[in-house]
Amino acid sequence: MIRLLQRTSLLFLLMTAAVIAVALVGHAQPTPSTITDLHLDECELPCWLGIVPKVTPVSEAKSLVYRAFGSNPDLYITEAEMIHTLFVWNSAHERLLTIEMQVNKSAIDSLRIDIHQNYPSVGELYAYLPPLRYANFGGYWWIPFMDWSLHGTDTSTACYSKSLRMSDPTYALSLGEDNSYVAASAFVEAWRGFGCHQ
């Protein structure tokens, strides 16, 4: 009986050590460049760059964008002031991001970030997402959360219908949207996991 207890204890300790090792290796993985380049790892969505919809004033939001992207010598920012839109470009004059700010009085009401290059995949973003509840599928997909959403495209004909793959690119992120109506929408499906894992 004592020998069985010793073996069980040893097995339990080995399994605990293995779980801790796996967790440490997982945390040691570098953050994907698509996440760090977009600064998506700096605060929890719907916050981005320290911008919180319905809270952050327009002038402060623009300053935060300039601070995040303007300090990189390989990037520059242009602005369409009348419509509160900022464009982030690389040194080859290729547009990387379009940041559209909808303003209510002096605060940002909502924000849309269109990604033009180096799209993060759903798999890269997945670690930063709360549990998925609903999705709108098709050639373009939309995953709504309560006050923000992701937009992307399905790149596979094999997985086209009502599915999403970890490798599918995300082309836009919208913050400050009211998605509380989503469950009643005929176009939105209850989330059932990934249809194709690739």
**pLDDT (tens digit per residue) in 30-76:** 888 888 889 988 888 889 999 999 999 999 999 999 999 988 999 99
Q: How far apart are the first and last CA of the chain?
A: 48
CB 187 within 8 A of CB 181: no
What pTM does this model have? 0.76
**pLDDT (tens digit per residue) in 109-164:** 999 999 998 888 888 888 878 877 777 776 677 888 888 888 887 665 555 456 67
**pLDDT higher than threshold 60 for residue 198:** no
- HEC profile of the chain: CHHHHHHHHHHHHHHHHHHHHHHHHHHHCCCCHHHHHCCCCCCCCCCECCECCCCCEHHHHHHHHHHHHHCCCCEEEEEEHHHCEEEEEECCCCEEEEEEEEEECCEEEEEEEEECCCCCEHHHHHCCCCCCCEEECCCEEEEECCCEEEEEECCCCCCCCCCCCCCCEEEEEEECCCCCCHHHCCCCEECCCCCCCC
Cα 30 to chain centroid distance, Å, stands at 16
**pLDDT (tens digit per residue) in 5-32:** 777 777 767 777 666 766 555 555 788 8
